Structure 1
Amino acid sequence: MILYGVPGWGSAISELMLTLADIPYQFINVDGFDKPGPQRDLLEKRNPLCQVPTLELSNGEIMSETAAIALMVLDRCPDLAPPIGCVERQQFQRLLVWLVANVYPTFTYADYPERWAPDAPEQLQQNCIAWRKTLYLWLDNHLKASPFTFGEQLTLIDCYLCVMRTWGPGPVWFAENTPKIAAIADSVCQLPKLHKVLKGNDILC
């Protein structure tokens, strides 16, 4: 498999997932893909939407979207989610969709506000960041287990929280306002199996 991404971006989540599942992959850094140039041309040939992560499977098929990649990983390594039939399974499914449906769009619009609101980019950016904080606060209030989201079992949701903790509003804000998310991210960072990937993505605890 070939994973096209940028260190520290959403592709870092997929790197953690693939590593946990012992699925071998080659990482190709397409930093700068969001501007015209060779990196964008390279990515656009695989994914016309020019998004990271873009995963090229061994059969040549293309996958994008971290949630879709997560489901593919679970097909190969079911232990990275709560067992089918238990209450936690439904909550896992809910959070997987919740993170990409609610939190992700705040980055889509806040990172490039001039694309969506050229007359008021700063206002859009500020509103998106403020909304993102309320989402993280809601999530932290609904997390009950430790050291991971679902207790002792490590799941793919923990990969999301570990990486997203490094994004805005930043690790200091998470530590001060969402201690449960911060603690889960710390637990993931302590896993020796992931140290190489975490270091390659500048994710430090």
Structure 2
Amino acid sequence: MSDVYTLFHAESMGSVFTLAVLRVLDVKHNVVLLSFDSVAKKEDTPEYHQLVAASPLAQFPTVIAPDGTVLTEGAAIALYLHDKYATGTQWSTEHLSPSQLALYYRIMVFIPANIYPTFTALDFPARFVIVPKTTQVSEEAVCGWVEEKAKENNKATFKLLEKLLDTVENRTSAFALGTGNASLVDIYITLMAHYGPPSPHGWMEDNCPKVMACARETLKDPVLQQVFEVENKFAAQIRGPLHTE
């Protein structure tokens, strides 16, 4: 049996987190690269059919383990890979205090439970509404309302993430848990920092400075620089200053 994982990945999508975890843990893997737009349109390609055969929701990320087991959900995949491959590495949670470990799990679940749904509502507002044919309001108008509320909720949940980082006592670094080394949750936060509310005035810097500091510190890792800055082309600028004089 092969010991290689297969990752279905789309550039700059949530699967970047999984790709980064595979890389920092030095796990053997192949990448099936797809276009998010192509998958959203359900275009008839061999890669699309391979993806939906594994994951009917056509999710990024979807991972096929060496034994054929299918894994989805970024946080779940990260925790699975951690348990199998992180022991003895800087990425292991074995050195965390009870309070740090509690925050680790809290953030790992908070992100997909609270932040990610706001992105889904922004990208696919029609999924969340049914407009009766008898109403005089158009579906376009209703979807616009969904998008506006999603933008509001997006900012609110990022502020809550910032407050979670504020709970760390005796912080000795910019990493999420205040530890000397990055953890997998720092990689997840770094992905979220790239997705933060766009603003010419640096909304994330003004409202979530600890989130941004965490991302910048995490991206000092050369492996993560390769994944985030070379292989995936994010519009958001993280390591450099967002403000211009």
Matching residue of 2:232: 201
With a CA cutoff of 8 Å and minimum separation of 6, indicate the structure with the bigger relative contact order.
1
Q: Tell me the CA shift for residue 180 of structure 1.
A: 0.6
Please tell me the residue identity of whatever aligns with 1:174. M
Query: Quick check: 2:196–2:204 contact (8 Å CA) kept in 1?
Result: no
Of residues 43-52 and 71-80 in structure 1, the stretch that sits farther from structure 2 once superposed is 71-80
Query: Quick check: 2:159–2:208 contact (8 Å CA) kept in 1?
Result: yes
* Greater C-alpha Rg: 2
Instruction: Tell me, in whole angstroms, the C-alpha distance in 2 between the residues paired with 1:181 and 1:192.
Output: 20
Given the alignment of the two structures, is residue 175 of structure 1 paired with residue 175 of structure 2, yes or no? Answer: no
Matching residue of 1:42: 50
From 98, 101, 114, give the equivalent of 2:113: 101
Identity between Structure 1 and Structure 2 (%): 26
The verdict on how the C-alpha distance between 1:168 and 1:122 changes in structure 2, with shifts beyond 3 A counting, is farther
Query: 1:74-105: per-residue Cα shift (whole Å, max 9, x none)?
Result: 11204425336622111111111111111111
Given the alignment of the two structures, is residue 147 of structure 1 paired with residue 174 of structure 2, yes or no? Answer: yes
Matching residue of 1:133: 155
Q: Name structure 2 gaps, 5 residues minimum.
A: 132-138, 240-245
5 Å matches for 1:1-205? Answer: 1-31=5-35, 32-37=38-43, 38=45, 39-75=47-83, 76-78=85-87, 79-83=90-94, 86-117=98-129, 119=139, 120-143=142-165, 144=168, 145=171, 146-151=173-178, 152-170=180-198, 172-198=202-228, 199-203=230-234, 205=239
CA RMSD, 1 decimal: 1.8
Of residues 45-54 and 30-39 in structure 1, the stretch that sits farther from structure 2 once superposed is 30-39
Please tell me the residue identity of whatever aligns with 1:132. N
Query: Quick check: 1:5–1:29 contact (8 Å CA) kept in 2?
Result: yes
Q: Tell me the CA shift for residue 193 of structure 1.
A: 2.0
Q: Tell me the CA shift for residue 121 of structure 1.
A: 0.6
Instruction: Tell me, in whole angstroms, the C-alpha distance in 1 between the residues paired with 2:77 and 2:8.
Output: 13
Q: Tell me the CA shift for residue 149 of structure 1.
A: 0.5
Please tell me the residue identity of whatever aligns with 1:73. L
Please tell me the residue identity of whatever aligns with 2:195. W
Query: 1:14-55: per-residue Cα shift (whole Å, max 9, x none)?
Result: 111111111121111111211121243231111111111000
Q: Tell me the CA shift for residue 132 of structure 1.
A: 1.4
Which structure shows the bigger proportion of residues in helix conformation? Answer: 1
Query: Quick check: 2:63–2:70 contact (8 Å CA) kept in 1?
Result: yes
Q: Which runs of 4+ in 1 moved over 6 A?
A: none
Instruction: Tell me, in whole angstroms, the C-alpha distance in 2 between the residues paired with 1:176 and 1:85.
Output: 30
Query: Number of residues paired by the alignment?
Result: 205
Please tell me the residue identity of whatever aligns with 2:118. T
Please tell me the residue identity of whatever aligns with 1:70. A
Query: 1:52-84: per-residue Cα shift (whole Å, max 9, x none)?
Result: 100011112111101111111211204425336
Instruction: Tell me, in whole angstroms, the C-alpha distance in 1 between the residues paired with 2:155 and 2:74.
Output: 21
Please tell me the residue identity of whatever aligns with 2:72. S
Q: TM-score, normalised by structure 1?
A: 0.92
